[in-house]
Structure 1
């Protein structure tokens, strides 16, 4: 379970978010909504351990019974997926995905793990593909696979569907939600479009914390 306790974020001693409390259960996808500039991205930065020095934070972040806000970013194992795929175009799809794997994994194991992930995403044969040749939906899938191959204990989605056309958006959204639920990953998603929120899942408003 992912849990934020009594979080207050300030900028130059002015409160941005005040007394934030929520929890995300394993396999649950909680949606976070609010106007631009309301603090959603700052909240994500704090959760992954990348908060800018211009902000001050007090509060606690817990994951699976362990307090992690005191840990460095690499030990938190909180993944994040942005609206841009952020693939390295000088690397193949397979080598983009290998970047997420542990350095201790051997070469043949790394390739097998990547091919297994591509098969699950119905992208067999894409290992050697140039990312520049991928469609928007294919790039989005590769970006999510890369996030999942890092074996995150929780995942943050920062408007991951906003750059996709309407038809692709629906099918990709369904695949993402099914994948995260099946892997039992607690997920917090920021979006400006209420239609992107999973049915029957909690939806939080940032304005409630200001």
Structure 2
């Protein structure tokens, strides 16, 4: 689904260079210290930061030169970027049509997914009338309505309380499975990796320092685990 080859850009602290592959339907959580380059990696994949070297391939298509809007992906940040003057329904409609003029089929699709994500009672509200968890549900639903095969999440739930955060993780996992999405999520929360990830990637100083399952991280690689503040089971 996703392949990046020596992808990098100019970075104030240190050079960045990433090479990795993610298979279709895989869920990957990206971990690492602050300033390591985790968010920069997602922005390079999405095209918001121009690459100074390397390539990005998504679904067998070289998208390196494409504008962000032309790439077959959706991205959600901690700041959900909802339009404050539009209702929930209008914000969702933007996921299907920039003009918000929907066909009957699109209307049905919007309402079905809004029902699945618990948004039907909120459709006429403005973002300011929603809780933080509700706003993130709107933003996530809008991403899913775009029906892109790759979903990038950059610390989207970090501002939520623990109960809401868990609710959003459960919803994200379910929707990725149901829609056969490939997921890459940046997080500082090790619990996210335990719950969500098929694979963990640890980034440090602009490079991939480690890749494997959460169980391998917890029980195997002492250096990578210590980097994240985890005590490996085999650490003397």
Please give the TM-score of this superposition, normalised by the length of structure 2. 0.78
- Corresponding residue for 2:40? 42
User: For the residues of structure 2 that align with 1:135 and 1:110, how far apart are their CA atoms?
Assistant: 26
For this pair of structures, how many residues does the alignment match? 205
Report how far residue 92 of structure 1 moved.
Answer: 0.7
Superimposed CA distance per residue, residues 75-125 of structure 1 (whole angstroms, 9 cap, x where no aligned partner) = 212211111222222111000111111358645444333212211112223
Q: Does 1:206 align with 2:217?
A: no
The one of 135, 141, 145 aligned to 2:137: 141
Unaligned runs of 5+ in 1: none
User: For the residues of structure 2 that align with 1:16 and 1:181, how far apart are their CA atoms?
Assistant: 35
The one of 41, 49, 53 aligned to 1:58: 53
CA contact (8 A) 2:29 2:197 kept: no
Secondary structure of residue in 2 paired with 1:22: strand
- Corresponding residue for 1:101? 96
User: Matches of residues 65-76 of structure 1 in structure 2 within 5 Å?
Assistant: 65-76=60-71
Shift in CA distance, 151/65, structure 1 to aligned 2, threshold 3 Å: same
Secondary structure of residue in 1 paired with 2:181: coil
CA contact (8 A) 1:93 1:130 kept: yes
- Corresponding residue for 1:91? 86
CA contact (8 A) 2:83 2:127 kept: yes
- Corresponding residue for 1:10? 10
Q: Which has the higher contact order (CA 8 A, sep 6+)?
A: 1
Superimposed CA distance per residue, residues 168-210 of structure 1 (whole angstroms, 9 cap, x where no aligned partner) = 1112111111111221111111011111123562111112547
- Corresponding residue for 1:185? 181
CA contact (8 A) 1:79 1:147 kept: yes
User: For the residues of structure 1 that align with 2:66 and 2:9, how far apart are their CA atoms?
Assistant: 18
CA contact (8 A) 1:8 1:16 kept: yes
User: For the residues of structure 2 that align with 1:28 and 1:172, how far apart are their CA atoms?
Assistant: 18
Please give the TM-score of this superposition, normalised by the length of structure 1. 0.87
